[in-house]
C-alpha cells in the first residue's frame, strides 16, 4: 500500500506541474500578471486528478477522528463528493457537507448544504490553503452549529500563514504537498562562488573569413551569405541578392523585394529559396535558378513570413504571421500540409532524431508536431517566445520571455523541471555535460540536465558576452572582446 501511495503522489505532483501550474496567466488583485499561478480546480475536475487526490486525501483522513467531512464552496465540492463515494466503496458511510460562501436567499435558506452536522466532529477539506481565510470562514460556520473541527486536509499548502492560524486554534493541517515540493524559486537566496579568471590571448570567436574581408573591401553591407558548391551568394542590406563564382566574380544580381527571413539552398542544389515580403500582408517564397538568377517558381501566402525557414530532406517548412505552418515540396513548391497554430509563428526547430517539429508562437505556446504535420502536444509557457531552445536526448529545454528555463519531455510535453534565476537570462549552453545559464551581472549557473539541480552558481566581475568550452576549459569573453579561462 505504501508503494501505491508513493506512486499516486508522484503522479499527482506531475499532473499539477503539467496542468495545474499556469505560466503568465491570470491576474493578481493589484492588476499585475503573475509569473506562475496554481489552478487546482482544473486538477480535481479531471478524472485522473480527482481519483489520485481522493485516494491520497482519504489516507490522510484516517489520521483524524470525525463523523462528517466537508469544505468551502466551490473548490472543495468535487473533493468532498468524491471522498464520500470513495468511503462508501471502501465499506464506510461517511457523509459530506458543503459550506456556502454566503447564505442562500431562497429555497431552504441554508448556509451549510448536506445532512445535519450539529454538534458533530468534522474534518474540512480544500484544494489549497493560502492565508487560511477561506477555511477559517468555513470553520466559523460549522462551529456555530456546535461542531468540533478535528483537522483540515488540503492538496497544497502555499505556506503563507494558513497553517499557523490553524495551529493557533489547535487544529491540525495535513497537506499532500507544500510549495517547496514544486521547487519554485520563491525568495530563494543563492550563494555564489567567486571564480578565478585567467586572461588569455586566444580569441573565442571564429576567425574572420576571407569572404568577410572581401565584403569589407567591396564596401558592401551584407546581412546574410550562403556558400553553395562553387558559388557564394550574399544578400545586401538593401535586399539585393548577389551570386559570385570561386574567384569572386559577380555572376548575377537581382532584387525581388524585402527579404523577411533566412534564404536556403534548394534540395537539388540548383536553386535558392528566398522569402520575400511584398507588403499589404502578402509574401512569396521564390525559387531562384542559382546559375542565372531567374525565378523558376513561387508560392504566395497572404501573410508575412518572419519565422526561420528549415529544410527537411527535400521539403521546405516555414511559418507565417497569421499562424499557419506550411510544408512545401522543395522543388515544385506545392503544399504538402499546413497546420494552424492560431498565433504568429516566431521560431521553428526540427528534431530529426525524433522526427518532430517544434513551433514557438507569439502567444506563448510551444507546439510539437509529427513530421507529417499532426499535433502531438502543445503547452503554454508564458506570453511570448524568443529563439532560445536546446534539444538534449529525450528533453527539450526552452526559455520563453518569462525568464524561466523549462525542461520538457519531448514525447508528451510533460514538465521535467524548471529553473528561474533572479537576474535576466542572456543565453544558455550545454558545456561539458551541464547546462550553463549565463545571466546579467556576471551570474553563471551550472545545472544538472537530468533534474535541473543547481551544481554551481558562479559570480564573475563582468557580463559574459560568450561562453565556449575548449580543451576541457570554459572560456568567457567580456563585452570588450577580452577572453578569460574560468576556474573555481
pLDDT at 1: 58
Residue 309 has, within 13 A of its CA and on its CB side, a CA count of 24
Predicted local distance difference test score (pLDDT) of residue 187: 45
Asked if 402 and 383 touch (Cβ cutoff 8 Å), the reply is yes
Long-range contacts of 63-66 (CB under 8 A, 24+ apart): 63/151, 63/174, 64/123, 64/150, 64/151, 64/153, 64/172, 65/121, 65/150, 66/120, 66/121, 66/122, 66/123, 66/150, 66/151
Return the pLDDT at 166. Answer: 97
What is the DSSP track for 157-195? E--SSHHHHHHHTT-EEEEEEEGGGGT--SS---PPEEP
Residue with cell 544538472: 448
Give me the pLDDT at residue 205, please. 46
CA Rg value for the chain: 30
Q: How many Å apart are CA 248 and CA 211, to the nearest integer?
A: 9
Maximum pairwise Cα distance, the chain: 97
Name the stretches of the chain with pLDDT < 70: 1-3, 185-195, 202-212, 384, 386-387, 487-488
Read out DSSP for 228-280? ETTEEEEEETT--EEEE-TT--EEEEE--SEE-S--EE-TTSSEEEEEEEEET
Residue 461 is classified by DSSP as: S
Preceding omega of 6 cis (within 30 degrees of 0)? no
Tell me the C-alpha distance between 351 and 6, whole Å. Answer: 35
Task: Give all domains of the chain, ordered by start, each with its CATH number.
Answer: 2-182 (3.40.50.2020)
Angle at the Cα of 380 from the Cα atoms of 374 and 385, rounded to 5 degrees:
95
Contact, 160 vs 140, CB < 8 A?
A: no
Give residues with Cβ within 8 angstroms of 194, minimum separation 6: 458, 459
- Pairwise CA distance, residues 381 & 366, whole Å: 7
pLDDT for the residue 211: 66
Query: Which of 13, 89, 26 lies closest to 53 in space, CA to CA?
Result: 13
Q: What is the DSSP string of 280-334?
A: TTEEEEEEEETTT--EEEEEEESS---SPPEEETTEEEEE-TTSEEEEEETTT--
Q: Are 329 and 336 in contact (CB under 8 A)?
A: yes
Report the length, in residues, of the chain. Answer: 488
The CA distance from 417 to 409, in Å, is: 10
pLDDT in the model for residue 207: 47
Amino acid at each position: 500500500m505504501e508503494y501505491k501511495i508513493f506512486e499516486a503522489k508522484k503522479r499527482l505532483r506531475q499532473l499539477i506541474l503539467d496542468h495545474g501550474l499556469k505560466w503568465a496567466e491570470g491576474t493578481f488583485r493589484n492588476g499585475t500578471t503573475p509569473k506562475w499561478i496554481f489552478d487546482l480546480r482544473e486538477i480535481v475536475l479531471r478524472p485522473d486528478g480527482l481519483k489520485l487526490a481522493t485516494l491520497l486525501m482519504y489516507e490522510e483522513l484516517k489520521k483524524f477522528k470525525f463523523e462528517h467531512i466537508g469544505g468551502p464552496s466551490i473548490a472543495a465540492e468535487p473533493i468532498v463528493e468524491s471522498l464520500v463515494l470513495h468511503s462508501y466503496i471502501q465499506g464506510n458511510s461517511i457523509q459530506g457537507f458543503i459550506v456556502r460562501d454566503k447564505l442562500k436567499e431562497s429555497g431552504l435558506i441554508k448556509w451549510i448544504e448536506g445532512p445535519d452536522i450539529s454538534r458533530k466532529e468534522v474534518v474540512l477539506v480544500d484544494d489549497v490553503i493560502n492565508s487560511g481565510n477561506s477555511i477559517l470562514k468555513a470553520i466559523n460556520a460549522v462551529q456555530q452549529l456546535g461542531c468540533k473541527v478535528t483537522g483540515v486536509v488540503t492538496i497544497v499548502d502555499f505556506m503563507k500563514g494558513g497553517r499557523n492560524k490553524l495551529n493557533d486554534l489547535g487544529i491540525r493541517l495535513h497537506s499532500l504537498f507544500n510549495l517547496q515540493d514544486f521547487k519554485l524559486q520563491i525568495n530563494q537566496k543563492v550563494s555564489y562562488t567567486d571564480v578565478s579568471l585567467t586572461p588569455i590571448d586566444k580569441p573565442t570567436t571564429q576567425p574572420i573569413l576571407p569572404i568577410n574581408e572581401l565584403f569589407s573591401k567591396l564596401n558592401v553591407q551584407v546581412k546574410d551569405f550562403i556558400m553553395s558548391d562553387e558559388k557564394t551568394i550574399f544578400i545586401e542590406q538593401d535586399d539585393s541578392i548577389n551570386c559570385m563564382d570561386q574567384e569572386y566574380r559577380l555572376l548575377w544580381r537581382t532584387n525581388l523585394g524585402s527579404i523577411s527571413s533566412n534564404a536556403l539552398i534548394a534540395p537539388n542544389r540548383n536553386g535558392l529559396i528566398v522569402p520575400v515580403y511584398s507588403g499589404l500582408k502578402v509574401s512569396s517564397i521564390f525559387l531562384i535558378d542559382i546559375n542565372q538568377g531567374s525565378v523558376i517558381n513561387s508560392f504566395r501566402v497572404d501573410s508575412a513570413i518572419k519565422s526561420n525557414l528549415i529544410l527537411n530532406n527535400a521539403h521546405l517548412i516555414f511559418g507565417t504571421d497569421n499562424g499557419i505552418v506550411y510544408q512545401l515540396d522543395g522543388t515544385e513548391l506545392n503544399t504538402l500540409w499546413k497546420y494552424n497554430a492560431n498565433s504568429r509563428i516566431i521560431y521553428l526547430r526540427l528534431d530529426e532524431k525524433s522526427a518532430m517539429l517544434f513551433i514557438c508562437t507569439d502567444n506563448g505556446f510551444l507546439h510539437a508536431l509529427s513530421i507529417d504535420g499532426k499535433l502531438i502536444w502543445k503547452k503554454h509557457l508564458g506570453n511570448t517566445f524568443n529563439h532560445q531552445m536546446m534539444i538534449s536526448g529525450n528533453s527539450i529545454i526552452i526559455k520563453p520571455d518569462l525568464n524561466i528555463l523549462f525542461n520538457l519531455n519531448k514525447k508528451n510535453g510533460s514538465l521535467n523541471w524548471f529553473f528561474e534565476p533572479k537576474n535576466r537570462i542572456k543565453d544558455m549552453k550545454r558545456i561539458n555535460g551541464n547546462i550553463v545559464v549565463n545571466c546579467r551581472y556576471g551570474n553563471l549557473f551550472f545545472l544538472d540536465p537530468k533534474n535541473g539541480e543547481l551544481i554551481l552558481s558562479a559570480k564573475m566581475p563582468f557580463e559574459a558576452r560568450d561562453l565556449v568550452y575548449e580543451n576541457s576549459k570554459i572560456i568567457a569573453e567580456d563585452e570588450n572582446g577580452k577572453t578569460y579561462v574560468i576556474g573555481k
